[in-house]
Structure 1
Amino acid sequence: MRLRLVKDETSFDFFSRWKLWLGISAVMMVVAFGSFMVQGLNFGIDFRGGTTIRTESPRPVDIGEYRGAIDPLELGDITITEIFDPTFGPDENVAMIRIQAQDDQEAVSAELITAVQEALRTVRPDIEFVSVESVGPKVSGELIQTAVIAVALAIAAVLVYIWLRFEWQFALGAVLALVHDVVLTIGVFSEIQIRFDLAIIAALLTIVGYSLNDTVVVFDRVRENLRKYKKRPLKEVLNLSINETLSRTIMTSLTTLLALVSLYVLGGDVIRGFVFAMIWGVIVGTYSSIFVASAILLYLGVKRDWSKPDANAGTQFSNVDA
């Protein structure tokens, strides 16, 4: 007996209020953009600048112990990570401590670095400080620019890919859905003021790929059904296609969310921001594949060109749900 979250054949009408769904998405994007303009993002050390202290100890790294020693100094955003390397010996336990710049200074002052070192020595007298490096505002500005370019290029590549594989209406629907996902993710980070660092940029690029995969599966089925049901209105074809891929969409999203929620609960503070971005991205990505990308395709319409020599070209895998 198999567990079924969705019946094999469903007949939900996803487009009875498609204008309402597009309106809700537009409002959420405006709110997200407004929050970004008013509050901005809580940039981490990667984008704000700061100082990195590399430590080494013969005893295993205890991140909680390190953080408990440093927190009374009230230095703001502090990230502590253990460095693993197969070349390290049993007495080489290395940690990386990253401290944000204080009061818009280029780096943490020498006095504060000394205070951090003394605080750590109170809990680890045998600790050694291997190196101290600073990230200035110029480098941070370059990282922000590079991150924006990376996300923009990813979305542009998606536009070209979908345009070549399908038609321009499909490409525009998919890209607007991706922009929707990225804007809402940045907006929720602005609203909640969760630390925004390079790991979140990696999450954004992963969200783009995840959402695109879901959208392409739906669009493949739409293209197949457009050729199969030549007389049906586009709205009916879209509804049929989404219902046929609904089981795959829900199962993929739920299994991904199960892993992500486990990481969020058990993974610790270091990756919590990244995992939160992924959880949010999976939710909005699944939503946008159905209620944004497909609704935009319904609005734009699509040309049914039956003059091609092979009407089934490019659809040989369209009946595969994986």
Structure 2
Amino acid sequence: MTESTIADADIDQNAQPKHSFLSRLYTGTGAFDVVGRRRFYYLLTGVIVLICLLSIVFRGFTLGIDFEGGSKIQLPAAGASTERVEEVYAQTLGEDPVSVQTVGSGSSETIQIRSVALDADQTNRLTNALFAEFQPKDRDGKANPNEISTSDVSETWGGQITRKALIALAVFLVLVTVYIAVRFERDMAIAALSALFFDMAVTAGVYSIVGFEVTPATVIGMLTILGFSLYDSVVVFDKVEENTRGVLHLKKKTYAEQANLAINQTLMRSINTTLIGVLPVIGLMVIAVWLLGVGTLKDLALVQLVGMIVGAYSSIFFATPLLVSIKERWGPVAGHTKKVLARRDTLESKGSAKEPAEIVASGSGVASSTTTTLRKAAPADTPRPGSRPTGKRHKKRR
């Protein structure tokens, strides 16, 4: 075997130039095996959902005054502390408040008391006790009882708000279900709705874990992020539909490989869309909540931040792999996948060159592997391409 023959033979994949992570991310050539590792992502998704559901069941939610009803008292935080406010409340009314927390920052920082519904006499006694203890001052520096504000929300009003929020959420889900059923095929609709419910469960679980109050702004934010999640799933599924069109007539590619290629081709777009959406939300949390002290915006900001991140994750690492699993469980795609993988096994057993494939689908009882094109070394007496025939072969031709 000559040196040139050796150089042409046995080219291993490791000898090829390797591209960086960012290069593979931007080119979207199918280098990230998402579908092939879907069992890992199923396990990760299940762990996340389990943690969130356990928090919802055992920890529950901190419902805002708009949902539960009750009284809310606010006073300037200057010269006061949450511990001392709780003591004054307990000494005056003989019971503990629902919650006492600091809202805002700087000169606009206030202490907010949430309690069960108080009658007029209880409200007056509590206001007088707070004024006598802390002497809140107005802008002129004079002690002013009007700096202590009170507001009441009846349980009936809270029940109406809760009912309207649930109706709005139900109507949204019905409209989304109809749209997905019309826009996509059955299996895509099942995967998209599963991802949507995953987003809802995780976002609600994070609210339960953090302990933020659930307010009408939270419900609005929930509807917003569900729309974002649906948009991201539609983008990925559009590419999957484009790549898998006519895949049953191919002998070298499976549905899973084409779906994985679609994920890679839309991965950078999903990341960019999520970053563009998250940056304003982070700005809202930093500027409005932390610097300006507008505490009412933190509920909307948190639900949007969590929802966008979770929505991007579910559309890439859950919805599309779930679609492939459904397709490969039954129907023509399952049969086609078995034929393609069986053909590769046959070619391998015969010692022929394997078909190059970006990713071979795992699952369906078939082992997964990344295949490369194998070039076998030529026999020692085989002439190099382009060389003139010599010796016995030359004489036979003559």
Shift of 1:100: 2.1
Match in the other structure for 1:210: 228
The 3-state SS of whatever aligns with 1:68 is coil
Unpaired runs of 5+ in structure 2?
1-21, 87-96, 105-109, 290-294, 334-398
The aligned amino acid for 1:25 is: T
- Correspondence for 1:233: 254
Give % identity. 31
Shift of 1:115: 4.5
Change beyond 3 A, Cα 1:79–1:304: farther
**Cα RMSD (Å):** 3.4
Partner of 2:85: 73
Query: Who wins on radius of gyration, i.e. which is larger?
Result: 2
Q: Give the TM-score, by structure 2 length.
A: 0.61
Please give the residue correspondences for 1:107-118 in structure 2 after superposition, counting only pairs within 5 Å. Answer: 109-110=122-123, 111-115=125-129
Partner of 1:297: 323
Superposed displacement of residue 249, structure 1? 0.6
Q: Return closer, same or farther for 1:116/1:238 CA change in 2, 3 Å cut-off.
A: farther
| 1:138 shift after superposition | 3.0
Q: Which residue of 2 aligns with 1:250?
A: 271
Aligned to 1:85: none
Q: Which residue of 2 aligns with 1:49?
A: 69
Cα distance in 2, alignment partners of residues 181 and 171 from structure 1 = 15
TM-superposed deviation, 1:148: 2.8
Contact in 2 for aligned 1:101/1:107 (Cα 8 Å): no
In the alignment, which residue of structure 2 is the partner of 1:280?
A: 306
SS where residue 221 of structure 2 aligns? helix
Alignment partner, residue 91 of structure 1: none
What displacement does 1:207 show?
A: 1.1
Matched, 1:21 2:33: no
Q: Deviations over 1:55-93 (max 9, x none)?
A: xxxxxxxxxx83436755235356879xxxxxxxxxxxx
* Equivalent residues of 1:52, 1:97 under 8 A apart: no
Decide whether the 8 Å contact of 1:107 with 1:134 is kept in 2: no
Unaligned segments of structure 1, at least 5 residues: 55-64, 82-95, 306-322
State which drifts further: 245-254 or 130-139. Answer: 130-139
Mapped pair 1:144 → 2:162: yes
Q: CA deviation at 1:204?
A: 1.0
SS in structure 2 opposite 1:15? coil
CA gap of 1:190–1:52, structure 2 versus 1, over 3 A, is closer
1:315 maps to none
The number of residues matched between the two structures is 278
Distance 1:20 1:129 in 2: 56
Instruction: Describe how 1:118-137 pairs up with structure 2 within 5 A.
Output: 122-124=136-138, 125=142, 133-137=151-155
Query: How has the CA–CA distance of structure 1 residues 131 and 260 changed in structure 2, closer, same or farther, with 3 Å as cutoff?
Result: closer
Task: Give the Cα–Cα distance (whole angstroms) in 2 for the partners of residues 294 and 286 of structure 1.
Answer: 12
Listed one character per residue, the Cα deviations across residues 124-162 of structure 1 (whole Å, up to 9, x for unaligned) are 157858996421223223323332332233222211101
Per-residue displacement from partner, 1:190-247 (whole Å, max 9, x unpaired)?
1221222221111111110110110000111111222254433221121111111112
Matched, 1:154 2:164: no
Q: How far apart are the structure 2 equivalents of 1:199 and 1:119? A: 34
- How many angstroms does 1:288 deviate by? 0.3
Distance 1:80 1:300, change over 3 A: same
Give SS of 1:123's match: coil
